[in-house]
């Protein structure tokens, strides 16, 4: 579906056009929100807040990039803002860079997305937030530090611990699967 067709309607505050935009992007955006949330309910809250922002600021979309990319950015920012309120990152000790060891080579192609999502949701809020921002959204440690008002080393340590936990969980799951198979 061509997004331009309902974009103009959204700018005129047309309810039908707004609903069309929501139907077009809500499922994908729910996937984004679920990564940042610890539960389905939290993800729904983030999604609702995000779409309200989208409709209230639709006139700021300059048609330069894709509409989906713009909506996604709003969702990510809303999720970060939502998570930041509940996360106290400063309490976690910063990890010295020299102690950060290289992770093992991992292959997760056989892993289901839903399982991976569950593992991410089960991470501590601070780990989950920094991992999402760095590994999936592509933020630098400097940007994360600025956005979350923490030091860069704190951001690195959060990411390191998040990776370690995830890999442990993946290993555990693979072991369980192999055990069942054998």
The answer to whether residue 134 forms part of the interface with other proteins (CB under 8 A) is yes
Torsion region of 100: left, alpha or beta (phi above 0 gives left; psi -120 to 50 gives alpha): beta
Nearest Cα residue to 127 out of 154, 97, 100, 103 = 154
Length of the chain: 182
Q: Which of 7, 9, 55, 61 binds other proteins (CB under 8 A)?
A: 55
- Which x/- pattern, by CB under 8 A, does the window 82-121 give for other proteins? --------------------xxxxxxxx-x-x--xx----
Stretch that binds other proteins, among 43-51, 64-72, 85-93, 146-154 (CB under 8 A): 43-51
Report, in angstroms and rounded to the nearest whole number, the Rg of the chain calculated over CA atoms.
Answer: 19
- Chain CA centroid to CA 57, Å: 21
Please report where in the chains the tokens 């921002």 appear, as a residue: 133
Return the number of the residue (84 or 163) whose C-beta is nearest other proteins: 163
Contact residues toward other proteins (CB under 8 A) are 13, 15, 18-19, 22, 26-28, 30-31, 34-35, 43-44, 47-48, 51-52, 55-56, 102-109, 111, 113, 116-117, 134-136, 163, 166-167
């Amino acid at each position: 579906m061509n997004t331009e067709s309902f974009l103009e309607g959204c700018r005129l505050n047309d309810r039908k056009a707004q609903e069309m935009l929501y139907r077009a992007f809500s499922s994908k955006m729910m996937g984004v929100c679920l990564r940042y949330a610890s539960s389905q309910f939290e993800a729904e809250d983030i999604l609702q807040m995000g779409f309200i922002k989208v409709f209230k600021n639709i006139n700021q979309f300059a048609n330069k990039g894709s509409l989906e990319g713009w909506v996604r950015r709003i969702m990510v920012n809303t999720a970060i803002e939502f998570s930041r309120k509940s996360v106290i990152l400063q309490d976690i000790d910063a990890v010295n860079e020299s102690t950060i060891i290289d992770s093992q080579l991992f292959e997760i192609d056989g892993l289901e997305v839903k399982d991976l999502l569950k593992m991410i949701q089960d991470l501590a809020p601070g780990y989950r937030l920094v991992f999402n921002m760095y590994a999936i959204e592509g933020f630098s440690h400097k940007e994360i530090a600025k956005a979350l008002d923490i030091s860069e080393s704190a951001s690195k340590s959060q990411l390191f611990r998040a990776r370690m936990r995830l890999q442990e969980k993946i290993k555990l799951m693979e072991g369980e699967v192999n055990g069942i198979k054998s």
